[in-house]
Structure 1
Amino acid sequence: MNREILETRRQVVSAVIRAYPGGREGAAGLLGLTLKQFDNHAYENNGHRPLDDSQIIQLEAVTKTTYLAEYICQQYAGFYVPMPAAELLDNIELHQRGLRTSSKRGLVDQYIAKALDDGEISSAEKREILALHAKHLSERHGQVLATITLHSRVKP
C-alpha cells in the first residue's frame, strides 16, 4: 500500500502543503503570509510557532483533504468519519459507498495475508494494517450514516 501514514503533526503539515495547488507559494498566499513567513511557521524554523489548526483547516478546505482530522483521531485511537451531505445522497451513492466499503475491507484482508507470508506481523505491518482497518471502519460507518440519513422520515 502506498498510502502515507502520518505520525506527527509536522508530517500532516507537509502532506497538506504537497497537496495544495501552487504548493508553498499558493498556501502562503491563502494565509496572507510571505513565503518566508509561511516556511518559518510551516516548518517551525528559528523558533517560530507552527501553523495553527485553523490555518491548516483553511488549506485543507482547498485541497479537500482531511489529514489533520485523521491525525487527531489517530492520537485518540479513533478514526475520522466524514458525515454524508444529505442533499447529495441517493441510492446510487449508497451503492457506491457499499462498493468502497467492500474494497477497503478487501485491502485489509489482502495486507494481512501478505504480512503473514513470513509467519509474523512486524511493527510496520501492524501500523499499516491498523491504518487500513481504520479506513475500512470509517467507510463502513459513513455508509451506515448515509443509509440512515437518506431513509429517515425527518431530514436533518
Structure 2
Amino acid sequence: MDNFRNCYQQMCKGMPGGWPAMAAALGITKDALENRVYERRGQVISLHEAMQMQAFHGSTLFAEAVAMDSGGVFVRMPDAERVDNEEIQTLYMELVEDVARLAREWREATRDGEVDSRERRRLERIQHDICAKTVQMNELTFQLFCRS
C-alpha cells in the first residue's frame, strides 16, 4: 500500500500548483484529497481518481505502481510512426550496454556474499531498463517489419 501512497504523493507534489491544484482538478477539497491519499476514516483513492491524477500529472506513475504491486513492470509502448531501423539498432546497442552494466553491478553486489537494499535497488533498476528496452525494441521491430 505504501507503493500506491508514494505514487499519489508524487503526483500531487509534481502537479503544477501542488496538492491544492490536484484537488481542484479532481473537483474535491485539499483536505478530502489528503484524507483519501492517507486513507483516513476508511477513505481511499478510487481507480477512476488515480487514473485522473495520472493524466493530470502527465505521467505513468499509477500504472507503474499497479505493475509493481502485481509483480511486473510497466513498459510504455514507443511511437512507431517516428522510428526507423537505425533507431531500433541504437536501442539494441543500449540494451547490450545495460546487460553489461547489470553484469558489473551484479558482480560488485554479490562480491561480499550479500546484496544490501541499496544494491538491490540498483539491480532492480537495471532489470527494469533491460525489460523495458527489450519490449520496446521488439514492438518497434514488429511494427516496422511485420506485414499486417
TM-score range, shorter chain: 0.7 to 0.9
Letter in 2 for 1:43: Y
Q: 1:48-59 counterparts in 2 under 5 A?
A: 48-59=42-53
Structure 2 residue runs without a partner (length 5+): none
Mapped to 1, the partners of 2:57 and 2:97 lie a distance apart of 24
Q: Aligned equivalents of 1:150 and 1:50: distance in 2?
A: 43
The aligned residue for residue 12 of structure 2 is: 17
1:38 matched to which residue of 2? Answer: 33
- Report the alpha carbon displacement of residue 144 of structure 1 after superposing the two structures with TM: 1.0
Superposed, which structure 2 residues align to 1:1-156 within 5 Å? 8-45=3-40, 47-91=41-85, 93-154=87-148
Distance 2:2 2:126 in 1: 14
> What are the ranges of 5 or more consecutive residues in structure 1 without an aligned counterpart?
1-5
| TM-score w.r.t. length of structure 2 | 0.78
Partner amino acid for 1:12?
Answer: C
Relative to structure 1, the CA distance from residue 21 to residue 106 in structure 2 (aligned partners, 3 Å threshold; closer, same or farther) is farther
In the alignment, the residues of structure 2 paired with residue 18 and residue 106 of structure 1 have an alpha-carbon distance, to the nearest angstrom, of 35
Runs (4+) of structure 1 exceeding 4 A deviation are none
The percent identity for this pair of structures is 24
Which amino acid in 1 is paired with 2:11? V
Instruction: Decide whether aligned partners of structure 1 residues 85 and 72 sit closer, same or farther in structure 2, where only a CA change above 3 A counts.
Output: same
Distance 2:38 2:74 in 1: 25
Give, in angstroms, the shift of residue 86 of structure 1.
3.2
Task: Assess if the C-alpha contact under 8 Å between 1:7 and 1:71 holds in 2.
Answer: no
Q: Which residue identity is paired with 2:29?
A: T
Deviation at 1:115, TM superposition (A): 1.8
Give the aligned residue type for 2:24.
Answer: G
Cα distance in 2 for residues equivalent to 1:96 and 1:134: 18
Letter in 2 for 1:84: P
CA distance in 1 between partners of 2:110 and 2:53 (Å):
39
Partner residue, 1:3: none
